[in-house]
Amino acid sequence: MDANGDGKISREEFPGPKEMFDQFDKDKNNFLSADEREAMRRNRQRGGSGGGFRRPGQNQTGGNLAEELFRSVDADKDKALSAKEWQAYFGKILTEADADKNGNLSAKEWQAWRQRRQSRSSGRPDRGLKVGTMAPKVSAEFMTQKGSMDFSKINHLSVVIFGSYT
């Protein structure tokens, strides 16, 4: 990516979308430094935005997790969090995740709980569709060109390669 070898990536050298460049150009100098590129890599490793495709209309920063958490904890939807709501929400997580029931969560228990929750929320605990099942309607926008691909319209055996510019 660093076409001119100056140790930083300019907006012109960056092959991804403008929004992704802007998200990681923290000092807004129109270059991605080594530290900013490393932040992009870490974000990708955590499952953040910045892959080869994104869902149409998907928030470029992956959504506001703080707002999502607030809405989840605010049980009575009064746009305020009480100590009771906070304790109830996280108490439920502790109860569900504490496999050995010792009142504490180990990193292993926490990770196992998160993986169980993620597989439940995806609706695909087996991580794949059964043979013969219709594919879900999924489309993704290209990073390097205009347009999108509607995966549900592919009617022959295909291999789609997802890449990263980070």
- Please report, for the chain, the start and end positions of each structural domain, with discontinuous segments joined by +: 1-52+138-166, 65-121
- The predicted structure's pLDDT at residue 84: 93
- The predicted structure's pLDDT at residue 99: 92
- The predicted structure's pLDDT at residue 154: 75
| Cα 36 from chain centroid (whole Å) | 18
- The predicted structure's pLDDT at residue 124: 45
| Cα 111 from chain centroid (whole Å) | 16
65-121, CATH topology level? Recoverin; domain 1 (1.10.238)
- The predicted structure's pLDDT at residue 56: 44
Structure tokens at 2: 């660093």
- The predicted structure's pLDDT at residue 101: 93
**What is the rounded CA–CA span in Å between residue 163 and residue 143?**
10
CA-only gyration radius of the chain, Å: 21
Under 8 Å between Cβ of 99 and 112: yes
Q: Which residues of the chain have pLDDT under 70?
A: 1, 46-65, 119-132, 134-135, 143-144, 160-166
- The predicted structure's pLDDT at residue 63: 52
- The predicted structure's pLDDT at residue 53: 44
Smallest Cα–Cα separation from 94: which of 77, 106, 81, 76?
106
Structure tokens at 132: 């013969």
Smallest Cα–Cα separation from 40: which of 53, 24, 60?
24
Q: How far, in Å, are 8, 70, 130, 138 from residue 52 at the CA level?
A: 21, 30, 26, 15
Q: Given the structure tokens 């012109």, which residue do they identify?
A: 12
pTM of this prediction exceeds 0.85? no
